[in-house]
Amino acid sequence: MKNTSSRIAKLGRNHKKRNRGKEMGAEEEVEQKGIELEQQPRSSTQPMTPAQFLSWKRNKDADASARKAEEARKRAEDILAGTVPMNGRELFLHDPLVFDNTRY
């Protein structure tokens, strides 16, 4: 592991020497970022178990559905108060006869 990181560091230094004064292209930037990431120490986080993931996913979905329901309730209140106009779908669901083409 030590040999690999020192070899990568040497490659990085040699690359910098060769390309002094030149602007980095996108590929070189990506390569440089990869080298920097490899040199950073790994974090000591625990891997997530499937049970932990499912628990997190259930909580996230419950929060999202609660937030969506609250937004829908607030929009319905705003429409009834007249502060927000209805969009086409809401208008059709509210009064489908507005879109009745048989009268024309």
Threshold 0.85, pTM exceeds = no
Question: Helices 2-18 and 26-39 meet at what angle, rounded to 10?
Answer: 150
Per-residue pLDDT of the chain (104 residues; tens, 9 = 90+): 455 566 666 656 655 555 555 556 778 887 877 777 777 776 677 889 999 999 999 999 999 999 999 999 999 999 889 899 999 888 888 888 878 877 66
pLDDT score for 2: 54
Contact partners, residue 79, CB within 8 Å, separation at least 6: 85, 86, 90
Residue ranges of domains in the chain? 72-103
Structure tokens at 37: 């990431």
